[in-house]
Amino acid sequence: MVDAAPLLSIRNLDVRFKLRTGVAAALSSGPKVLKAVDDVSFDVRKGEVLGLVGESGSGKTTIGKALLRLYEPHAGTILVNGVDITHMGAGRLKPYRRNLQMVFQDPLSSLNPRHTVRTALATPLLLHRICANDEVDARIDEALSKAGLPTSFKDRYPHEMSGGQLQRVAIARALTMSPGLVVADEPVSKLDVSVRAQILNLLKDLQQKFGISIIFITHDLRVARYLCHRVAVMYFGKMVEIGPTEELFASPKHPYTRALLGTLDESAESLDGGAQIAGEAFNPTTDSVGCRYLSRCPKKVARCATAHPEFEDVAANHSVACYEWRGG
């Protein structure tokens, strides 16, 4: 089908949190507002893996939860196959909830310790009436096999499994819903280094075999490079650059993307690049109008303080939010 709507479109997404505690609230009259996600737009096509990268606190998880409607956006639009689900009521939302699944960083905390794998996987199947009662077991077996686990794991409890096995169960649970899109939120960062590659390869296989789209959230650029077709770089709630993976790595345009990539060689095991970038980080509770990267940017000019730059096209599918990206 030509010109089909993207599987997912996010337009001008804005998610805010009210902060009621701490010094900030005590000093101001009302609650402080934290702009966790500020005017973010992107599409995910069918079968595409889009990486969301950026240091901790940049709003990656918030985007994932907002697009699943686990957080209510302050503004913006979420379209699934061209249908606006931003304010859809629970009843109509159900099929979309099923189509969009999330795999979390810590598999143990997303599973009930008192439930066997069978119960954990059967509950959403029954809730969404995906299949008849007598088909539930077969459906669970199929999902476990796809996730690379023996079907005998149905009778296990979470404490009887390793971190990698638990993450496979979480992935199997998502697969039982036959989702079009899986949001994988740092799915390997809590796992032993030795099993990370297995889980990444599993996700890659599932994407290739079943054409599932994935939003892959990670602070580790090397993992993003391995898995993603395109990568979007987040900095304190703002998307600053998005482009095809190889092009972004070969020819990064935003000073923040460049700084992140510059930290790649030195870091040994995993990367939380921001900690290594000089300069003071942005304070997301301020009402700053300028570029959020201003305080760290080696290329800043006067107008960077007056308005956050709009996205400009660098090449096909590659855009950047920086006034000075041409400067080399």
Ligand X SMILES: Nc1ncnc2c1ncn2[C@@H]1O[C@H](COP(=O)(O)OP(=O)(O)O)[C@@H](O)[C@H]1O
Q: Which residues contact ligand X (rule: CB under 6 A)?
A: 17, 34, 36, 54, 56-62, 284
> Smaller CB distance to Mg ion: residue 61 or 165?
61
Residue 37 beta carbon to ligand X: minimum distance, rounded to whole angstroms:
7
Please provide the DSSP assignment of 229-276 as one string. Answer: SEEEEEETTEEEEEEEHHHHHHS--SHHHHHHHHTTTT--S---GGGG
> Smaller CB distance to ligand X: residue 105 or 165?
105
Residue closest to Mg ion (Cβ) = 61
In the three-class reduction of DSSP (H, G, I as helix; E, B as strand; rest coil), residue 26 is classed as: helix
319 forms part of the interface with Mg ion (CB under 5 A): no
> Smaller CB distance to ligand X: residue 80 or 234?
234
62 binds, among ligand X, Mg ion, none (CB under 5 to 8 A by kind): ligand X
DSSP at 282: P
Binding residue count for Mg ion, defined by CB under 5 A: 1
Distance CA 147, CA 203 (A): 9
Residue 270 beta carbon to ligand X: minimum distance, rounded to whole angstroms:
14
Please provide the DSSP assignment of 155-210 as one string. Answer: G--GGGS-HHHHHHHHHHHHHTT--SEEEEESTTTTS-HHHHHHHHHHHHHHHHHH
273 binds, among ligand X, Mg ion, none (CB under 5 to 8 A by kind): none
> Are β-strands 213-218 and 181-185 bridged in parallel, bridged antiparallel, or unpaired?
parallel
58 binds, among Mg ion, ligand X, none (CB under 5 to 8 A by kind): ligand X
> Smaller CB distance to ligand X: residue 56 or 251?
56
- Tokens 């149905």 correspond to what residue? 154
> Smaller CB distance to Mg ion: residue 141 or 186?
186
Sign of CA pseudo-dihedral 76, 78, 82, 85: negative
165 binds, among Mg ion, ligand X, none (CB under 5 to 8 A by kind): none
The helix (run of H) or strand (run of E) holding residue 320 is: strand 318-320
284 binds, among ligand X, Mg ion, none (CB under 5 to 8 A by kind): ligand X
Residue 182 beta carbon to Mg ion: minimum distance, rounded to whole angstroms:
16
Sheet holding 318-320, edge to edge: 100-103, 181-185, 213-218, 49-53, 230-235, 238-244, 318-320, 312-315
Sign of CA pseudo-dihedral 188, 230, 80, 16: positive
- Tokens 């395109």 correspond to what residue? 230
> Smaller CB distance to ligand X: residue 56 or 201?
56
> Smaller CB distance to ligand X: residue 56 or 145?
56
Residue 325 beta carbon to Mg ion: minimum distance, rounded to whole angstroms:
27
Distance CA 68, CA 182 (A): 10
240 binds, among ligand X, Mg ion, none (CB under 5 to 8 A by kind): none
Distance CA 128, CA 85 (A): 18
- Tokens 């077969």 correspond to what residue? 138
Residue 60 beta carbon to ligand X: minimum distance, rounded to whole angstroms:
3
Residue 58 beta carbon to Mg ion: minimum distance, rounded to whole angstroms:
8
Residue 71 beta carbon to Mg ion: minimum distance, rounded to whole angstroms:
13
Residue 115 beta carbon to Mg ion: minimum distance, rounded to whole angstroms:
25
Residues 37-66 that bind Mg ion (CB under 5 A): 61
> Smaller CB distance to Mg ion: residue 9 or 61?
61
* Tokens, residue 250: 């070969």
Contacting residues toward Mg ion, per CB under 5 A = 61
